[in-house]
Amino acid sequence: MKIVKKGSSNFNQPVGNFQSFNQVANHFIIEAENANIQIIPYSDSIFRIRIALKGQSFTGFSYAIAEEPMQVEVSVTETTDSITFQTKGAQLLVSKNPFRISFFNAQGTLLSEDDQAFGTSWLGNEVTTYKKLQEGERFIGLGEKTGDLDRRGQSYVNWNTDYFAYPVDADPIYLSTPFYIGLHNETQYGVFFDNTHKTTFSFGCSNNRFSYFQAEDGEMNYYLFAGNNVKSIIESFTWLTGRMSMPPLWSLGFQQCRYSYYPTFEVINAAKMFRDKDIPCDVLYLDIHYMDAYKVFTWHPERFPDPKKMMADLKEDGFNMVVILDPGIKKEVGYHAYDDGKAKDLFVSYPDGEEYNGQVWPGWSAFPDFTHEEVRKWWGDHMKAVTDVGVEGFWIDMNEPAAWGQHLPDLIEFAYEGEGGTHKKSRNVYGYQMARSTFEGGKKLLKGKRPFVLTRAGYCGVQRYAAVWTGDNISADDHMLAGVRLVNSMGLTGISNAGYDVGGFAGEATPDLFARWISIGAFSPFFRSHSMVNSRDSEPWSFGEEVEDISRNYIKLRYRLMPYLYSAFYESAKNGMPVARSLAIDYTHDAKIYHGDYQNQYLFGPSILVCPVESYKPFAKVYFPKGKWFNFFTDQLNEGESEHIIEVNKEVLPLYVKAGSVLFCQSAVNSLQKETPKPTLEVHYYAGGDFSFEYYEDDGQTYEYENQKFFKRIITSNQNNEIDFGKVSGDFTSKFNKIRFYLHTNEKISNVKLKQDEFSKDLTLNHENYRWINPVSDFDPYHKPPAKPIELNNLPYVEFDHSTFAFSVIVS
Ligand code: GLC
């Protein structure tokens, strides 16, 4: 059947054929029948592509981008049919008639190509780029999106949304990061569609022809990334959009939240319980009830009459406090934040100039326009109300922005750094700019100390300012696993410091669920337990003694692993490698890892394989990717590329360590900010392959590391069990003066040598009946766990000084 097309604007409008081509500085400008195109080689492996309909101008500004284009060597070849742009790391081919784009890697292998018929085209203002589906193509990324690791066959919308108790397949939720990685034929490439309007991504959803990315308005502005592996693509993407700075060490500890702890004695009591029960914890939270009538930058006079004293008492006990800050400012004449913001005209308004008001916790509220520098500074200055009291952590919530009804009028206006934008263009960056304002304000007020900011909403680049949590999840097994995938997926899109509400926010966790969730949470970059108002108590001791013991074991284990975790955070800050690593990063083209049974598995840092399991399952399926894997608790070695059914119980989370890797541990402490661990650094060496990992330390609280005040060295090893500790760089003195070097191997060891420059000496080999954690079975005679006791028997170790020189340990 032929359709008669009357009035072309109702139908697909293409870019059309090529007309002209020229170069202005490092931009290549192409004119086509209906559109103007800019091609910008951004780095050796990144091309930026901008396409605007004729008559539309290119807008200049992006919140996401942290770097200007590099000076790139490009060779350009034009023929009658095409133009080729070749850089060291990629090739972009423009076909002229019609205008289409194909993208190749350095080896000339096709990575991605426009759908031949549609390429980039418009339906009214809506702009879409259609990419042909490649054979066997998979898609990963897009950040905080529910669903499977492999997103093929699905579609997603980016529109920051406050979604209480969202189902595990809900979309959209709170945060938008329009960046994905395509995988096929042993190759990989990245696409970042930098358009802040509501965007839709389809990965072959309801069709078998193309994937596409689409924005309801604005420019077609996207970046293509080539790279030899997923890791290098993440590195390029985080170079472009920025990386986190080192978070304060205390924020890597266990964090206990509650909606809400009040009055003061409840907070102090919670702190006391942690210490009495010998459960490590570094942070307590104040949710909305600490404020007077939910007015941000106030303290409730009866509930918290002396917050300064409370803070001082908490700090004395090794706790920091994180307080919630919501963007909605109560519309109340006489309330200082409202009066001041109103007088200075800092709130979001309607086109007729009237202030926009929506309802949130305090009732009718005005919303600071965080897309304006003056407003960001103003907000930052008002944070004095909490920093003066001693607060160093800021939890920013409801910043999608949320207002009851969840449908802000699209015509309201934002400054958008002077460019101007309606709600349609500005919504997705609102939370991100609030995070920026809060981080910058905190940094200024804390005078050299690192602030900690936790946000719910965001856009690409938010990792520079804040950690992210996955909002109002539900106390259920499928949510626990969905949270793991959300965090791993955010890691693929630059957000390394992320976590979920352990135990579930809405609903009530069973003891078994809480036990499982807290053990998995101990292996999440951001580790916080939180629960809804009026729900049952959800602190680690609220589910009975057994769960209390399990919680203590896993929280302590995380604290023991802190030197390793801190080094993993450093790696993230340095090159964007996430702390929780989807197996799609290291084992990209192994089809098994995408299987429903295994897609929740991930690496925590470079060495630990975590296999999350539902709390009710007596058995679990695990998959070992390439290599060999030590059981964390028994040191039993498993061959890679094999599937196993294992018995599980609530005390033992299936954890494995890669053969050919290293872990750094310290003695257990209950507070990272108050207690100093014993001066011996444990280095656990897992024999069996090559690795290279950078050990990193600094003071954990200031930015002095920017002035060389760090202690770092690269540690490498090879198949012959020679472990090289590189020379230390930096001016920081390590907390540790000794290394205790544990050997995890199933081979017989007869000799361990320490070699430094010209000298070499044999080390005394000790054995220790060494335990990771204390299984419940140790002290409960009635409890008979199906698993073996959790211990490492007769683990050999050697000890030597933590010298700053280069040296090697040679095991034979
Ligand atoms: C939102 C947050 C939740 C918080 C609550 C009250 O629902 O997501 O974490 O406890 O608001 O502030």
Beta bridge partners of 123: 126
**470 within 8 A of 165, measured Cβ to Cβ:** no
**What percent of the chain lies above the pLDDT cut of 90?**
88
Cα 279 to Cα 474: distance, rounded to the nearest angstrom? 25
Which band of pLDDT confidence, cut at 50, 70 and 90, is reported for residue 797? confident
Task: Check if 549 has its Cβ closer than 6 Å to any atom of ligand 1.
Answer: no
What values do phi and psi take at 772, rounded to 5?
-80, -55
Q: Closest ligand 1 atom to the C-alpha of 505?
A: 9
Report whether pLDDT(772) > 80: no
Q: Which of 256, 323, 324, 469 best tests ligand 1's pocket when mutated (most atoms within 8 Å of CB)? A: 324
Cα 597 to Cα 620: distance, rounded to the nearest angstrom? 9
pLDDT digits (tens, 9 = 90+) for 369-413: 999 999 999 999 999 999 999 999 999 999 999 999 999 999 999
pLDDT digits (tens, 9 = 90+) for 126-162: 999 999 999 999 999 999 999 999 999 999 999 999 9
Joined tokens for residue 229: 């592996």
Q: Closest ligand 1 atom to the C-alpha of 164?
A: 7
Q: Quick one: pLDDT at residue 59?
A: 77
Q: Domain 551-812, what fold?
A: Immunoglobulin-like (2.60.40)
Q: Quick one: pLDDT at residue 175?
A: 98
pLDDT digits (tens, 9 = 90+) for 704-721: 999 999 999 999 998 899
pLDDT digits (tens, 9 = 90+) for 208-260: 999 999 999 999 999 999 999 999 999 999 999 999 999 999 999 999 999 99
Q: Rounding to the nearest 10 degrees, give the CA dihedral for residues 563, 566, 570, 572.
A: 130
Q: Closest ligand 1 atom to the C-alpha of 398?
A: 1
Residue whose CA lies nearest to ligand 1 atom number 5: 259
DSSP for 662-705, please give it: EEEE----S-TTTPPPPSEEEEEEE-SS-EEEEEEEE-SSBSGG
pLDDT digits (tens, 9 = 90+) for 685-707: 999 989 999 999 999 999 999 99
Q: Which of 56-65, 205-214, 424-433 has the lowest mean pLDDT?
A: 56-65
- Cα of 722 vs centre of ligand 1, distance in Å, is 51
Q: Which of 398, 475, 479 best tests ligand 1's pocket when mutated (most atoms within 8 Å of CB)? A: 398
Q: Which of 484-493, 501-510, 560-569, 745-754 has the lowest mean pLDDT?
A: 745-754
Task: Check if 288 has its Cβ closer than 6 Å to any atom of ligand 1.
Answer: yes
Q: Closest ligand 1 atom to the C-alpha of 471?
A: 8
- Cα of 273 vs centre of ligand 1, distance in Å, is 24
Q: Quick one: pLDDT at residue 791?
A: 42
Report whether pLDDT(502) > 60: yes
Beta bridge partners of 79: none
Cα 639 to Cα 653: distance, rounded to the nearest angstrom? 19
Q: Which of 256, 289, 322, 397 best tests ligand 1's pocket when mutated (most atoms within 8 Å of CB)? A: 397
Cα 475 to Cα 457: distance, rounded to the nearest angstrom? 21
Q: Quick one: pLDDT at residue 789?
A: 34
Task: Check if 736 has its Cβ closer than 6 Å to any atom of ligand 1.
Answer: no
- Cα of 260 vs centre of ligand 1, distance in Å, is 9
Q: Which of 172-176, 325-329, 786-790 has the lowest mean pLDDT?
A: 786-790
Question: What value does the mean pLDDT take over residues 606-610?
Answer: 98
Do the domains spanning 13-241 and 551-812 agree at the CATH topology level? yes
CA angle 543, 513, 263 (to 5 degrees): 45
- Cα of 456 vs centre of ligand 1, distance in Å, is 9
DSSP for 707-729, please give it: GT-EEEEEEEE-TT-EEEEPPPB
pLDDT digits (tens, 9 = 90+) for 347-376: 999 999 999 999 999 999 999 999 999 999
Instruction: Give the residue ranges of DSSP H helices in 224-372.
Output: 230-241, 264-276, 307-316, 336-343
Q: Closest ligand 1 atom to the C-alpha of 532?
A: 10
Q: Quick one: pLDDT at residue 796?
A: 82
Task: Check if 63 has its Cβ closer than 6 Å to any atom of ligand 1.
Answer: no
How crowded is the C-beta side of 356, counted as CA atoms within 13 Å?
Answer: 24
Class of domain 13-241: mainly beta
pLDDT digits (tens, 9 = 90+) for 69-128: 999 999 999 999 999 999 999 999 999 999 999 999 999 999 999 999 999 999 999 999
Residue whose CA lies nearest to ligand 1 atom number 7: 472
- Cα of 397 vs centre of ligand 1, distance in Å, is 7
**Average pLDDT for the chain:** 94
Question: What value does the mean pLDDT take over residues 266-289?
Answer: 97
- Cα of 359 vs centre of ligand 1, distance in Å, is 15
Joined tokens for residue 591: 């089809």
Q: Quick one: pLDDT at residue 1?
A: 64
Catalytic residues: 397, 400, 472
- Cα of 472 vs centre of ligand 1, distance in Å, is 7
- Cα of 252 vs centre of ligand 1, distance in Å, is 21
Q: Quick one: pLDDT at residue 785?
A: 39
* Domain layout of the chain by residue ranges: 13-241, 551-812
Report whether pLDDT(497) > 80: yes
Q: Closest ligand 1 atom to the C-alpha of 257?
A: 10
Residue of 730, 443, 701, 693 lying closest to 575 (CA atoms): 693
Beta bridge partners of 363: 360
Task: Check if 797 has its Cβ closer than 6 Å to any atom of ligand 1.
Answer: no
Task: Check if 287 has its Cβ closer than 6 Å to any atom of ligand 1.
Answer: yes
